[in-house]
Structure 1
């Protein structure tokens, strides 16, 4: 299979015609999807979805594709994605152990959230019912009203009508996920507590400190649409932010772990800049779900239409659509009394600058900008958050000195320096 990855589309097509065994291998979606994305380097695709990446790239209608009987071709390489694309997701999303079940509440006030819930996952069941989009948006109504609008689906922009065709006719192990950060501008909708707004931030989450950045804040809200099996593999949200995810249609299975937990099957580089895990959600579920469910820190549950889920900053989470659906999500930095989340965001912006994402290119110093805005509006909160950062850094330094058996003078006088940042964080957009 590795050799086939080096072939261009024409060579791959011709090689597949030599025998049925090579036809089976050369027709693999795992080969044709990268070729399609490479061919559309601008990210834009205005063609027609033909039912497979191969047929779409080659412009072959369904009746033009060869029908070769490959029933006597046996290969684990071909069998694995087939099994994963036909996995029954319900067996992972049901019979959740009582101790793992995510807390479900009707609603919360901001005072309740700030006092007890900023560092815990939860689901609110009666929070978004008065949003106009909850009452009017379905996949079909979006198709009717915005079918010609181009949305971002991972690495490609295509009209929603084309993505809709893809959703209805794909056997991908990991279906493309529509995940668009500019949807409000493209759909010409208002967001916020103003007349004619399509939806607004739930009041329970209170002040979002990144709002101080105004138009210079990083990307923070997304429209999410996808078919069954689509979703996001394990990741932490960007820039040490928390998030909420509101389901308008469909249902999603979530499995989550606190920041300090080593998730089975997920391997993180020393600086937390790279996360390695199985290629697909289905493969992780099939291989590691049972083991992960046994961890005492495991939190899991299903978020249904009309419900909204809170993801605290730093928490590992995997989410998968149990059926085709629509969701809106937003990242934020809550102003909690402990200032834990503010200190984490400041730490990430300061100490992991190379991992900061979502800012426009003209914002060259996100940390400095955020500190400046905080100083002007919440100077006491900024001072306390920076004190918390200094305290954490000193604690980590002491632990290092204890580990290497060096005194303060020795540790400071060595031939190299060791920088300590904040807690691990990473993102998958």
Structure 2
């Protein structure tokens, strides 16, 4: 029967002569569940009583099996073979107990079992219909071009050659923007490619999410994987591992890179060696990236692209603003829930996001650097294999926000070494020593903010002064105001 995709979130395959590359067939022939409506047979009938369970629950149960058990149950029928081929099952097994040395073989299953491609059975499961099995494959093969092109003019992130520190502080500290000039002066921009890094640092281990891999192994993974969410190298210790000098070229003649002048002010530097993690090397294949998040500790950030363009979509946050479409946040904002992968978010929510007020989008090309203001939601995806360097910092415009976060969200503070007790007080002490006047201004602003919230709460509980009904009755009342109130209960 024809492969008819019936669910709206699955793009229909089109011929190349129509201008769109077709999504390849699933390696086992699995199709979306809607196709079962016209099917004359279904491999799922072979799994007996298991048919009573939804596919998602079957996969969840299989997560509790070890490799031997997965192989065993996969031999019972074609349907279970397809279920036990789900890559996330084998990725979890591999990551939970990674071997000291291994060869990447294109998939997590083949790598875990050390199977060359010629030894992987080719089983025809074309009469199996499962969204749970087809969706990750579909997401791993969507084309990014429709989502990263034709950006509406109102959404476009501003592009500038460069900014002075004064211009940044006066006009741009609260706005995303892309600078085209500063990074092109960096030696790492001129010298780094995936090839040169592999040649020089191939044996060195770098952090890629939950694993520490030799860079040459990660290079093999970059070149050959079909993950829905490709493993992303994100290493905070790259400066020491690679023996790099970082700093102004006037003070550090052999500097590999340095922050542009407009980002040079960073008040977390008062903590010296006790500051939280703030520098990362980022390397990843096409489709790798980061789902929607805000940067830690109310910091701002810059992200410099050395190789491979990145697509960014961003939203401001605030007491009266909802999170981006498809993103759900707990009341204290400590937990963020969103679709399982960037691809799934693009398929489901991208069109709505483009129509949402405050949306900003842009492509940061090689040799460019993007500014992420404190508190902004952002999602980023690599359009091609990419190398980037990013750094978090606290400019004066967001000093109050950082103090507020460290003081009032201590359970969400991250990146500090375990021996750093009371990061808030350490930061205050450092600012008192280095920048007492700026600290005083920020603390006064923070106090006004707290008093403003308290007044709003008092108005809610007791009514505003002069409220005629309260004066007449002298009783307790709730003054909730209109439905658009932006009151935040302390």
Specify if TM > 0.5: yes
Q: Answer whether contact 1:254 1:300 (CA < 8 A) is retained.
A: yes
Dislocated runs of 4+, deviation >6 Å: none
Paired residue for 1:378, among 424, 428, 435?
435
> Aligned in 2, Cα 1:420/1:219: closer, same or farther, shift over 3 Å?
farther
Aligned match of 1:425:
none
Question: Counterpart in 1 of 2:396?
Answer: 335
| 1:180 lines up with 2:235 in the alignment | yes
Matching residue within 309, 316, 335 for 1:251: 309
Count of aligned pairs between the two proteins: 407
Would the aligned equivalents of 1:393 and 1:420 in 2 still touch at CA under 8 Å? no
Give the number of the structure with larger relative contact order, counting CA–CA contacts within 8 Å between residues 6 or more apart: 1
Q: CA deviation at 1:69?
A: 2.0
What's the offset of the Cα at 1:296? 2.0
Cα separation, 2, equivalents of 1:160 and 1:113: 36
- Provide the residue aligned with 1:75 in structure 2: 130
For the residues of structure 1 that align with 2:198 and 2:314, how far apart are their CA atoms? Answer: 32
1:406 Cα deviation from its structure 2 partner: 6.2
TM-score by length of 2: 0.81
Superposition map of 1:27-426 within 5 A: 27-40=85-98, 45-193=100-248, 194-260=252-318, 261-262=321-322, 263-336=324-397, 341-405=398-462
**Contact 1:46–1:159 (8 Å) recurs in 2:** no
Matched residues in 2 for 1:392 and 1:112: separation?
A: 26
- When residues 231 and 302 of structure 1 are mapped into structure 2, their CA distance, relative to the original with a 3 A threshold, is same
The Cα RMSD (Å) is 1.8
Larger radius of gyration: 2
TM-score (norm 1): 0.92
Question: Where does the alignment leave 5 or more consecutive residues of structure 2 unmatched?
Answer: 1-58, 466-475, 478-487
Which deviations, in whole Å up to 9, do the C-alpha atoms of 1:30-63 show, x marking residues without a partner? Answer: 21111111123xxx75311111111111222222
Determine if contact 2:457/2:489 at 8 Å carries over to the other structure.
no
Deviation by residue 1:90-130 (Cα, 9 ceiling, x = unmatched): 11111111000000001111111111000000000111111
Deviations 1:277-296 (A, max 9, x none): 00100101110111111012
- Partner SS for 1:199: coil
Take 1:372 and 1:23, find their aligned partners in 2: how far apart are those partners?
61
Q: Is the 8 A contact 2:233 2:284 kept in 1?
A: yes
